[in-house]
Chain A
């Protein structure tokens, strides 16, 4: 039982493509500037990260220089590619020798098929900030098409993301990767929806505590469940009009806040903001491993609105919900 909650993630790619930078930003609270100080990774660097309490991520950051690479595919191959849950392959979009990059990708797919055929494959096209804005989309589609074709013979389904350490795209990618590993996502989602029925919020988002990656949100659940064929989501029109990158931005903002609070040698419990047009925000600890963010729209205009210290009511509601979410977490 406990072994199944240990997840092995391989982080691979050619040298200099930004693998260790990603890891440091997401899991070690580095800022994008700090990553310049990182040197080359020698061989494989292991990190064990506790995620959501009882899930352990074993991240194998594989140094990408050719000497090490050759080693992975020959002498160490059964050691490296056994029992892999996730392969994250990083491509540098500025790379001069794409053929060699792809060659290595194919090699790792071959090995994966042999040693752990159930692995999920994620492809990150990294350093996207170096490409002109109007060309990014096109480049991404072309690359993904090509890579999917290559991996077809191995029966792997690729999931790709354009990423850069200088914006929120990195958080988006990692949040999808990590969410794919959470076994009881459905329980989280259904409970989140029920909590929303109580609160009638504009939006509720769940974050993991240490990394602030987005676990789940009401908007994304609704998108999954309705998925209207004509592309019209009439029920939640107001949420649809919001910034689609807001989750990543929030992750980023709150992480900055967490960092800045450490200067006072403490951490934060909650944050309540009453916005300029009446929207309220509540960020609070939900469980030992989760943070919750609730966005409520302005209700003063509604007929049966009672302004009886709403802040306290919401915080009290969060406390009540805490019990349920703790149960889900410990259910595994």
Chain B
């Protein structure tokens, strides 16, 4: 049982050398500045990151120059123990080699572990012009499809993402990848939908505070701008709070950070800390009556109450998940 839980939440990061794998790890999980990743050394052995959020996740990064099909390498065990395989393709480079490599890996991984999620990051798109991005994506999808067809693997689901570490697209992609690994996701989304319906919230995210990955959101479409604002709102709240925290008093009590900001178009940004390093960030729109702040106060009181209910539900869900680790379907 223990073993199974571990299998569910490992992400394997692969790709050719200099594709940008270490940079992705550093930027997403260590808050490194994107420009500083220029100075990263080439990775020589597999490294893994522990990332403890709603689920305990580990991200394993493999050096690009290794050949996994050497008999000495225990690749069978490796592939059978991961939940998602993320393959990074450098879109600014010639990617034909990468595609051959990718289909080889998919063929092997799929044989070992048919439940594996296969995700392809078309990376470093910041250097491509707007229309060329779409072309590159279409080309890569087409070629991968053909390759897989040739190998007789029509049924494999491969998801593609356009990413860059210089904007929020990498967080967006990782959010989707991580979400596929959370077994409780449907119920979480349901709960968030419920919250949205009963609280006149426009959009709500459940964020991991450290990495800015969102583990769940309600079912309305994600607008990247709203996501960015919400992610930055977390930073601002935490930074301001940190300035006035004395170190002795820090552990005394931790009743959770909460912050509310009124915007001049009548919307409200709302943040409340949840369990296990998660935070709920909501955008509440109030288009019709920007002057009626009294109204907004009532709305906020209701939201406060509802969010507290949500927090309790989340805690319960977390308890239940710990008791009975979900099996792989």
Contacts and interface: CB of A to CB of B under 8 A. Distances in A.
A278 B255 contact: yes
A140 B248 CA distance: 34
A145 interface: no
Contact residues of B: prevailing secondary structure = mixed
Interface string B265-283: 1010000010000000001
Contacts of A272: 259-261
Q: Which of A243, A272, A274 has the most CB of B within 10 A?
A: A274
Contacts of A276: 241, 245, 250, 254-257, 273
A330 B242 CA distance: 36
Contact of A242 (B229, B243, B256): B243
Interface string B230-245: 0011011101110111
Interface in A217-266: 241-243, 246, 249-250, 253-254, 256-257, 260-261, 263-266
A275 B256 CA distance: 7
Contact of B226 (A241, A264, A273): A264
Contact of B240 (A202, A253, A261, A269): A253
B257 A267 contact: no
Interface in A263-302: 263-279, 281, 295
B264 interface: yes
Contact of B259 (A241, A265, A274, A295): A274
By size class, the interface of chain A is 20 to 34
A295 B246 contact: no
A124 B215 CA distance: 46
Interface size class for chain B? 35 or more
A260 B233 contact: yes
Contact of A268 (B243, B257, B264, B283): B264
Nearest to A312: B297
Contact of B236 (A253, A265, A269, A277): A253
Contact of B225 (A264, A274, A275, A281): A264
A264 B245 contact: no
Given A254-B236, A260-B229, A281-B244, 10 more contacts: A242-B244, A246-B244, A263-B225, A264-B267, A266-B263, A271-B261, A275-B240, A276-B254, A279-B245, A312-B297
